Amino acid sequence: MRHPHTRTIHRRVAGALAAGLLCAAGFAAPAAAAPPADPPAPADGLALTPPMGFNNWNSTQCGADFDATMVQGIADLFVEKGLKDAGYRYVNLDDCWALPERDANGRLVPDPVRFPDGIKAVADYVHAKGLKLGIYTSAGTKTCSNTGFPGALGHEYDDARQFADWGVDYLKYDNCNNQGVDARQRYRTMRDALRATGRPIVYSICEWGENKPWEWAADVGHLWRTTGDISDNWSSMLSILKQNLPLAPYAGPGHWNDPDMLEVGNGGMTDTEYRSHFSLWSVMAAPLLIGTDLRKASRSTYDILGNKEVVAVDQDPLGRQGSVVSSAGGRWVIAKEMADGSRAVALFNESGTAQRIATDARAAGLPGARGYSVRDLWQHRTYNTAGTLAATVPAHGTVLLRVAADPRWAAHPPAVELGLDGGLLLTAATPATLTSTVTDLGGTPARQVSVALTGPAGWRVRATSPASAAVLTTGGTLRTGWRVTAPAGTPPGSYGLTLRAGYRSPSGTAETVQVPLTASVVVPPPSGTSYLGDLPWLSAVNGWGPVERDTSNGESAAGDGRPLTIGGTVYAKGLGVHALGDIAFYTGGACEQVTASVGVDDEKDAKGTVAFEILADDTKAAGTGVLTNAMPAQQLTADISGAQVIRLVVTDGGDGVDSDHADWANARLNC
């Protein structure tokens, strides 16, 4: 036991640090008590790096695909596709593996349809491949699925013994039907029961962060969920990221924050988003449990999950969870200290448009030096920098770097940053002007520099100033003007452009860098008053299903909403969204005001909490505090005079996106 007085002192010091971090990060985080300076980990040497493996839940839930054939198929693929070699070890069964009733002796019975030869046979199969087997139950009377399979409350020692006899190596212990018994007690009892078996079993606490396990579970389990369940969409991933980031001080070898399993490959996000998901989980030293059915996975899914350089960030033996260096306007810099003294640095763009994200080696925690090596972990290329770490990061993308104060830095080609000044909004047949920049970030010169901008077929793209330079020295920039014209009649919407630069390093190697950009073809807003729900939007991000026009958000398919209803009042017009929501409209400097009656839709139970914001060219023009399901509609009025673009943003009220159905009732625009 730690002396209570010592603990108080640690609390105060680390609390001040955490507060500084949160201010810099600029987001609301759960109030977390500070961790002990050196939390005791289970002294069993297990999970010294975050567990890696597979769990069926995110792909099958309790569906028929979940069976012994699947588990064996995954184990086979781990070996065949190099995932075992990349570090993936655990093949884990989630809920629904058992029959709903125990046998006459009180033992758990594997479902004979899913596991005809029992769990031991599956464990033997997995072990024969040099892999490990995980299982699931709940610290309650029943598990979480609606069917309700037997939980382990009151059966801890028998069930743990049973698992050990089957050869289980990992237990995920859920929180449903817990009968109100204190979580610490329930989770400690199972810890003791697992220890009593004498078998090394990784112990995964899954109480969704409800009892702040990061404050007490370092000597109970090897990992603990910090949030509610992830789902396969951008908003869910983002919301969980923001809840898990501030908990960085609590993670370490043998005791990890668990922001839930991976959704990579399940289809609800783009590959760019999945690369961000995987990069961010790795920088957070999160468990990497593959959540897709690998038997159906695409080449790009394997490329993401099998990226050993990214996995090495996650699995670094120092065991630090990366922390936020800066965060503003959706531009995140997250840095993770590595055992070799280098830093993994994620430049993550939360926003829906490409943005420049920049920091430097010192801010990322490295000592001062004349130059550094920079490894791009997705491009698999190494450059040098004089200190600046910067990139134009595509919407929802992440540039993941590993930066080191390397005495041989100058042997690598200089890093070159590509940028674009001026927005990519244009009206068909009207030329738009842009300026591209190519900047040498390296401590060595870039020679024979050239830049090209290409657009979709039929678009005219012309340089209006030189697009090449003989040499750029450190910090030097080639600026090039461009005229871009979309053909007459181009329908409003998003179109892809590519900015590319080529150069030669001092040793003569040819380098190319490129960034994908998105241009929006827009139409001017109508003059007078319009309902926003009747206008086309530039972009729309929504937590569940699509944004609905004139109905609430039904969560899945388009058109599945109900009448917009806040506090018993029904509205005929408006927009129905689900946190995290972000809808952008082009206003072209021609509009003055946005008004709306906002609130949580009555259709969900009392859990929904959201906050509304109206942004005019990324500046907050109006907003609410956190609104709950119990509150009546609140009137919002925003002065948006002169704005080119406005955004209607809904955040999650700080508690995750669950049940966050947000209505922009009567949302109107005056132009």
Strands (E), 473-560: 477-485, 493-504, 510-521, 529-531, 539-541, 548-549
Q: How far is the CB of 81 from ligand GLA (least distance, A)?
A: 25
Q: What DSSP character marks residue 143?
A: -
Task: Note whether 233 and 261 are within 8 A (CB).
Answer: no
Q: How far is the CB of 241 from ligand GLA (least distance, A)?
A: 17
Which residue among the candidates 94, 159, 169, 174 is catalytic per the annotation? 174
Nearer to ligand GLA, 145 or 593 (CB): 145
Closest CA to 594 of 626, 552, 622, 617: 622
Strands (E), 14-148: 52-55, 90-92, 132-138
Q: What is the DSSP string of 494-506?
A: EEEEEEEEEEE-T
- How far from 69 is each of 164, 312, 658, CA to CA, in Å? 22, 30, 33
229 is catalytic: yes
Placement of tokens 């049973």 in the chain: 162
Which residue among the candidates 44, 111, 158, 229 is catalytic per the annotation? 229
Closest CA to 214 of 245, 235, 242: 245
174 is catalytic: yes
Part in contact with ligand GLA (CB under 6 A); list of ranges 139-147, 366-374, 486-494, 606-614: 139-147
Binder of ligand GLA out of 67, 174, 232, 263 (CB under 6 A): 174
Q: How far is CA 218 from the centre of its chain?
A: 24
* Gap between the Cα atoms of 423 and 403, Å rounded: 31
Is residue 94 near ligand GLA by the rule CB under 6 A?
A: yes
Is residue 144 near ligand GLA by the rule CB under 6 A?
A: yes
Nearer to ligand GLA, 207 or 350 (CB): 207
Structure tokens at 575: 């927009």
Part in contact with ligand GLA (CB under 6 A); list of ranges 43-51, 137-145, 352-360, 591-599: 137-145
DSSP-assigned beta bridge partners for residue 635: 597
At 534, is the secondary structure helix, strand, or coil?
A: helix
* Gap between the Cα atoms of 422 and 644, Å rounded: 12
Task: Note whether 547 and 647 are within 8 A (CB).
Answer: no
Binder of ligand GLA out of 60, 141, 145, 468 (CB under 6 A): 145
Is residue 263 near ligand GLA by the rule CB under 6 A?
A: no
Tell me, by CB under 6 A, how many residues bind ligand GLA.
10
Q: Which residues contact 473 (CB under 8 A, 6 or more apart)?
A: 440, 445
Give me the half-sphere count of Cα atoms (radius 13 Å) on the Cβ side of residue 192.
9
Part in contact with ligand GLA (CB under 6 A); list of ranges 143-151, 180-188, 406-414, 555-563: 143-151
Nearer to ligand GLA, 71 or 403 (CB): 71
Is residue 95 near ligand GLA by the rule CB under 6 A?
A: yes
- Indicate the residue whose CB is closest to ligand GLA: 144
Task: Note whether 227 and 236 are within 8 A (CB).
Answer: no
Q: How far is the CB of 174 from ligand GLA (least distance, A)?
A: 5
Nearer to ligand GLA, 231 or 351 (CB): 231
Q: How far is the CB of 487 from ligand GLA (least distance, A)?
A: 50
Q: How far is the CB of 416 from ligand GLA (least distance, A)?
A: 43
Is residue 223 near ligand GLA by the rule CB under 6 A?
A: no
**Using CB under 6 A, which residues numbered 465 to 524 contact ligand GLA?**
none
Binder of ligand GLA out of 18, 122, 206, 347 (CB under 6 A): 206
Is residue 143 near ligand GLA by the rule CB under 6 A?
A: yes
Q: How far is the CB of 100 from ligand GLA (least distance, A)?
A: 13
* Gap between the Cα atoms of 622 and 76, Å rounded: 55
Q: How far is the CB of 25 from ligand GLA (least distance, A)?
A: 26
At 9, is the secondary structure helix, strand, or coil?
A: helix
Structure tokens at 636: 């919002």
List the catalytic residues: 174, 229
- Would you tell me which residues interact with ligand GLA (CB under 6 A)? 57, 94-95, 143-145, 174, 206, 208, 229
